[in-house]
Amino acid sequence: MTVLHWATISPFLFAIIVPFLFKYVKRIHTGWFVLILPLVLFGYFLQYLSVTSNGKVVEHTVQWVPSLGVNFTVYIDGLSLLFLLLISGIGSLVVLYSIFYLSKSTEKLNNFYVYLLMFMGAMLGVVISDNLIVLYIFWELTSLASSLLISYWFAREKSTYGALKSMLITVFGGFSMLAGFSFLYVITGTFSIREIIASVDLVTSSSLFLPAMLLILLGAFTKSAQFPFHIWLPDAMEAPTPVSAYLHSATMVKAGIYLVARLTPIFGGASEWFWLLTGFGLMTLIWGSVSAVRQKDLKSILAFSTISQLGLIMSLLGVGSAAIYYADSPDPTYFAFAVMAAIFHLINHATFKGSLFMAVGIIDHETGSRDIRKLGGLMTIMPITFTVSLIGLASMAGLPPFNGFLSKEMFFTALIRAQEIGAFNMETFSIILPIVAWIASIFTFLYCLIMFTKTFLGKFKPENFKVKVHEAPIGMLISPIILASLVVVFGLFPNLLSYTLIEPAMRSILPMLLEPGETFYVDIYMWHGFNTELFMTIGVVTAGILLYTLMKKWASTKFYLSERDPLNWFYDSSYDGVIKGSQVVTRAQMTGLLRDYFAYMLIFMIILFTYTMYRYDAFSIDTTNVSFIHPYMWLIFGIMIFATLSVPFIHNRMAIVIVVGVIGFLLALVFVVFRAPDLALTQLLIETVTVVLFMIVFYHLPELRKIKSKPRFNILNFIISAAVGILVTAIAFSALALGNEAGIESISQYYIENSKTLAGGYNMVNVVLVDFRGLDTMLEALVLGIAALGIVVLIKLRMSGREDV
């Protein structure tokens, strides 16, 4: 494996060490050790800036399951590098912040940092993997790790509720996405993203094009909290604030954005892709911004603002995908401006939203409250937090001279330009896009204004707090100060990012628009004159201030008082319905009787195998190659059949054990006759040990009670038993007959010919178990080992009764 592979999986490896650090290094906060890793990774990934800026890529492959086309291929281009730097850079600041936010004396830091590193490694894997199956594995790991982080304070009911909700919604989307990936494989015969992009004509002409698109977008929308799947994100705010700052502003919620951007070369240019991204993005934008106004908790406001901002980025990617439709036009890069705006706002959002989450965490940490109805007057008491929040909120509201103003103006420009698209029925609907964007921006400005004034202005009321309110220690302030500084720097000097991050990412998303050696023109600046976008911004500020001044009139309305998203009703109802349905099924199925469980399994097998054999016309009998059976074998089989049939009628335990033992020993005799001495020896040993163990156990059991009533004949059990016997016999005869008809040699011939040459062994059975089926054997041994460990734990476990407190 290359250094890049090791860098990708290094968080998982480091997570193994964390519990030992937590256990044996008591004086030093575990976070100081963890901080080293993201800092090193950030420095390592920075070296690739010069590579991607020059239009080059880095690729390394480690074969995993090459026969299925599944390889661990790491691939760095402009888009993946952007996310790698966000994951490692923001990750470093979050770990530093968590050192001062989480107390090493009261918190289970080993759990926290293991989950955090798990998540970091999973996100690195998502954005660097070229293989769709490997990407999917890391994708689901992000869902698992994020759920563990959300439920970090598992004693709180809201934490476990939010974790379960995020897991169910995002994993549901992940399964759908996997089906979409499978369709792409069926079309192209490869899981490599680059190879699929190279076969884009084959994909677009396939009947599976639209189903693959819809299933993949379902995965992207659930992960990036797009309407109506956004409902998991506000409940995920029950996680510690460092988690919210990391997962829900810079990384996990951007995974869906990354997937859409990465697959735009495949699906872009299609009207369905354009409208699904643009429509759902704008709907998410306005729904999130309106919902944020109603919230009273600072983190809830930021949660819905995150939903809104993600919708903004998604809609820009949708509008920008139209550039692919115009790839053959004289100016194919004209509509690519929207993609540029999406990338720039993605970076900006990570900076101002990360700083705001950390500022809210400081307020909560130092006051014990996030309720804006209790807060107020904190400007003079927490001046640094006030300054950081002012910069972050002004940027999110789209005010100059901060970076959010620049990307918001670019957003307006992109949607105004979209009216010039002469395809996708834009002649009819194009005017709606900038109107929706403008209205959503008004509510964005409004919730930023509410959050700022209700928290920092007004009169400070110390009686609302149980602690003495003061500014946070400098260690907790470093990370938000750095992010707030980047908000200012990227606002005043945006072209620092133009050809280092933005243009290389654009080239990765829209490679078909450029000739070899060409680059996109990226020049971002503050003043564009008195244009439509500036007047839209003035209108946003004016309308926002007007709504704020009239707040007393609408603050008592049902709209403002209803904080909970109404769409949660669908999730709660569906979840309750599934629970009740599963309880009905469970009560019917889990009877506590072993014979019922066997009956369910056998009925399923009968239906499945019978349908399969009938569907493919596989029932057949051919006795031409059946071997001659000697009379003594008939005797052995007769005794075995008689012994088997007698078992249900024996009411003495010892007699049953003896009869069952006779069946086993006769089976060993059959192995001897068919010249399989190793199997015969194994059967003899196991049967002997089993008989002895049964006798020892049954000797100590009480005698069976005699039942006066006669046993009833169960017709259903008889039918199931007979059907299984007939079906197995039919399958055996059919396999033999079909092999004869097709001229297929027995698979045993392959092992006979290759056991010595390929595996170096003469004992074919041992070779099959150890070499040809070595992975199966290893997994079987692993299962036994896990079962043994579970038994040991159960024997040694001593519960105090307060484990869940």
The tens digit of pLDDT for each residue in 672-713 reads 888 888 788 888 888 888 888 888 887 777 776 666 666 677
Check residue 736 and give its pLDDT.
76
Does the CA dihedral 563-568-570-572 come out positive or negative? negative
Q: Which pair of structure tokens corresponds to residue 94?
A: 């979050």
Mean local confidence (pLDDT), 266-286 = 95
**Neighbouring C-beta atoms of residue 308, cutoff 10 Å:** 26
Nearest 5°: the CA angle 244, 372, 381 is 90
pLDDT tens, residue by residue, 475-485: 999 999 999 99
**Which of 98-112, 383-397, 413-427, 727-741: highest mean pLDDT?**
383-397
Check residue 805 and give its pLDDT.
45
Mean local confidence (pLDDT), 617-630 = 76
Specify the 3-state DSSP secondary structure of 468: coil
- Judged by phi (left if over 0) then psi (alpha if -120 to 50, else beta), residue 399 lies in beta
Alpha helices of 102-208 — where are they, by DSSP H? 109-128, 132-150, 157-188, 193-198, 200-204
Mean local confidence (pLDDT), 41-48 = 96
pLDDT tens, residue by residue, 720-735: 989 999 999 888 888 8
- Helices and strands in the chain, H and E counts: 35, 2
Mean local confidence (pLDDT), 56-81 = 92
Containing H/E element for 253?
Answer: helix 252-267
Average pLDDT of the chain? 90
How many whole angstroms separate alpha carbon 414 and alpha carbon 416? 5
Specify the 3-state DSSP secondary structure of 58: strand
**Which of 264-268, 428-432, 762-766: highest mean pLDDT?**
264-268
Contact in structure between 453 and 544 (CB atoms under 8 Å): no
Containing H/E element for 86?
Answer: helix 78-101
How many whole angstroms separate alpha carbon 44 and alpha carbon 474? 28
Contact in structure between 230 and 287 (CB atoms under 8 Å): yes
Check residue 549 and give its pLDDT.
94
Check residue 430 and give its pLDDT.
85
- pLDDT value at 628 more than 80: no
Look at the block and give the residue holding tokens 């509008």: 319
pLDDT tens, residue by residue, 457-507: 988 888 888 888 889 999 999 999 999 999 999 999 999 999 999 999 999
Check residue 104 and give its pLDDT.
82
- pLDDT value at 237 more than 60: yes
Q: Which pair of structure tokens corresponds to residue 190?
A: 């490869």
Q: Which pair of structure tokens corresponds to residue 631?
A: 């009379």
For 241-250, b/e burial (b = at least 16 CB within 10 A) is bbbbbbbbbb
122-136, 177-191, 465-479, 548-562: which has the minimum mean pLDDT? 548-562
Pick the residue with more confidence: 359 or 427?
359
Q: Which pair of structure tokens corresponds to residue 717?
A: 């059990």
Burial class (CB in 10 A: 0-12, 13-18, 19+), 39: middle
Mean local confidence (pLDDT), 436-463 = 93
Mean local confidence (pLDDT), 241-266 = 90
- pLDDT value at 544 more than 90: yes
Report DSSP state, residue 242: H
pLDDT tens, residue by residue, 552-610: 888 888 888 888 888 999 999 999 999 999 999 888 888 888 888 889 999 999 999 99
How many whole angstroms separate alpha carbon 143 and alpha carbon 133? 16
Q: At what angle do helices 30-46 and 3-24 cross, to 10 degrees?
A: 170
309-323, 356-370, 663-677: which has the minimum mean pLDDT? 663-677
Contact in structure between 41 and 102 (CB atoms under 8 Å): no
Mean local confidence (pLDDT), 284-305 = 94
Contact in structure between 278 and 429 (CB atoms under 8 Å): no
Specify the 3-state DSSP secondary structure of 234: helix
How many whole angstroms separate alpha carbon 289 and alpha carbon 277? 18
Closest by CA to 268, choosing from 197, 202, 352, is: 197
Look at the block and give the residue holding tokens 């066997």: 598
Residue 22's contacts (CB-CB under 8 Å, 6 or more residues apart) are 30, 109, 110, 113
**CA–CA distance from 583 to each of 196, 572, 580 (Å)?**
44, 16, 5
Contact in structure between 149 and 238 (CB atoms under 8 Å): no
Containing H/E element for 91?
Answer: helix 78-101
How many whole angstroms separate alpha carbon 174 and alpha carbon 229? 13
pLDDT band at 141 (very low <50, low <70, confident <90, very high): very high
Contact in structure between 82 and 343 (CB atoms under 8 Å): yes
Give me the torsion for CA of 3, 6, 8, 9, rounded to 10°. Answer: 180
pLDDT band at 802 (very low <50, low <70, confident <90, very high): low
- Judged by phi (left if over 0) then psi (alpha if -120 to 50, else beta), residue 790 lies in alpha
Specify the 3-state DSSP secondary structure of 315: helix
How many whole angstroms separate alpha carbon 130 and alpha carbon 350? 24
418-427, 639-648, 684-693, 741-750: which has the minimum mean pLDDT? 741-750
